[in-house]
Structure 1
């Protein structure tokens, strides 16, 4: 009989402060065809792990090529977007974490960090998939399991990085602004007014506009329009819905207002965008 016993030392200080650090969401995305989303920011830290495909992440003014097992960490309030390539659609898992920022060494860029975990894939990916599975199934106690997995994941990430990675509490965002933004993200197809958002967050609407604009660089209504336009790009490229149908589906007051808003943000008309996307897909870019 062989018997081995290993003693566990007293645990060190966890890099995750559970009083302030919380996992807000886990989601997965897989794009079909070329996809260029709008530049945007989040009040939380986002961790993107590329599961498949190829594309680019644009962070502030930098363009970062990504492929499977790349991890891009974007700190709060940093403009970023994803670009998927038609030949190999981008697929990734993303975590939104409140109360935490990742910082590289003194020579790194404090806005974002990028790593490749090809050699450590089996040490990282199971935790991400575990969180995704827990939050999809929502079995009893899933919140605790997700928070535990987040803590283990952070320790694993710190083990695998080539340079020192520290985790520091992030500045808390305005509760009212965060609540208004979450509501818009979940209900942007509905008829949302500034008065509704003010009632939801229990603050004066003029104060909400000022605070939201200061925190996110855009007014609540313009953020709402941006979310609708972002969704319209998919509908234009991948469906045969008319402009009138898309306008109605996304909550615009009229097709003309939709077209006007689209042109203002994208620089071209919705129909021209559709034409270009389909030409590119057929291998005949204009």
Structure 2
């Protein structure tokens, strides 16, 4: 008896989707990273521990076998609990954007308990290949990535869209990087122009075009995002938080927070604490 299967499906060209990096992290204590974005998509798979992900200002509880997918230029950061340090693997993927059932969201979280054995197997293979760096390791890693993506697409809630390589304005990237690294300090448009060596009015226009937000508003949003992480994960006072994230005064911090979030910092803290209490009571 002879059985033959013909494959007539369309597949994206191999060079269209590329694995840029893979990393494994484990954190202890009440650690939190700095909110940031990437030009590529990222997939976080939680191996162990518990914590939270702050994605575009929204906090999400994370536990083992959760898979967090974040599209390019979506701001996010990770929070780890002291009692159960968060351990996860990150894949950086170029050339693809994930589409989800939820409208207008650049991220999603999937429960992958049923895929744990396969996920861990593929992750271990990837890490082993990257550690050993033997001939052909790039090809093997690319193959594993494609298998993983196909497994995810089989879930009805996820689909893929090929994307062109993001445009890269070096001056805008430098300005954005400077803001990300120095948002706790006083940052002006004149300083950004000095860092990038271009006219400040041209910089403001180019930055708006590149990131759909002005440099100063990005700085403000950056500070507010960091303040939300501190409000959710610490008992610092508003004065302490306003100083830590770079606001000139607690009143300006509260005013800016309310304008961007529609509530005061304390209202936000109470809302998050109530959500956490509800989850813990389940």
Q: TM-score, normalised by structure 2?
A: 0.61
Tell me how many residue pairs correspond in the alignment. 247
1:113-160 Cα deviation digits (max 9, x unpaired): 9875434122333367679x98xxxxxxx9xxx988964653453564
Paired with 1:75 and 1:112, the residues of 2 have a C-alpha distance of 6
1:51 to 47, 53, 56: 47
Look up the match of 2:212: 217
**CA distance in 2 between partners of 1:27 and 1:267 (Å):** 37
Which of 129, 140, 145 pairs up with 1:154? 145
Q: Which runs of 5+ in 2 are unaligned?
A: 1-12
CA distance in 2 between partners of 1:184 and 1:127 (Å): 37
1:139 maps to which residue?
Answer: none
The 1:250/1:127 distance shift into structure 2, 3 A limit, reads: farther
| Structure 1 Cα separation of the partners of residues 181 and 141 of structure 2 | 24
| TM-score of the superposed pair, with normalisation by structure 1 | 0.60
d(CA) in 2 for partners of 1:125, 1:215: 34
Of 196, 199, 212, the match for 1:201: 196
Match of 1:189 among 161, 184, 187: 184
Matching residue of 1:11: none
User: Deviation string for 1:78-119 (max 9, x for gaps)?
Assistant: x576899x9x9987544445x522578xxxx9x779875434
Aligned equivalents of 1:219 and 1:26: distance in 2? 32
Partners in 1 of 2:277 and 2:66 — Cα distance? 29
Equivalent-residue separation in structure 1 for 2:196 and 2:51 (angstroms): 40
Deviation at 1:247, TM superposition (A): 1.2
C-alpha contact 1:100 1:167 (8 A) present in aligned 2 = yes
1:10-21 correspondence runs (5 A): 15=14
- 1:249 and 1:213, CA in 2 relative to 1: closer, same or farther beyond 3 A? same
Worse-superposed segment, 190-199 or 64-73: 64-73
Matched-pair contact (CA < 8 Å) for 1:16–1:167: no
Task: Give the distance between the partners of 2:24 and 2:215, measured in 1 at CA.
Answer: 23
RMSD, matched Cα: 5.1
Give the conservation status (yes or no) of the 8 Å contact 2:72–2:97: no
Q: 1:181 to 1:49 in 2, by over 3 A?
A: farther
Residue 123 of structure 1: aligned partner: 121
Q: 1:256 to 1:165 in 2, by over 3 A?
A: closer
SS at 1:51 equivalent: strand
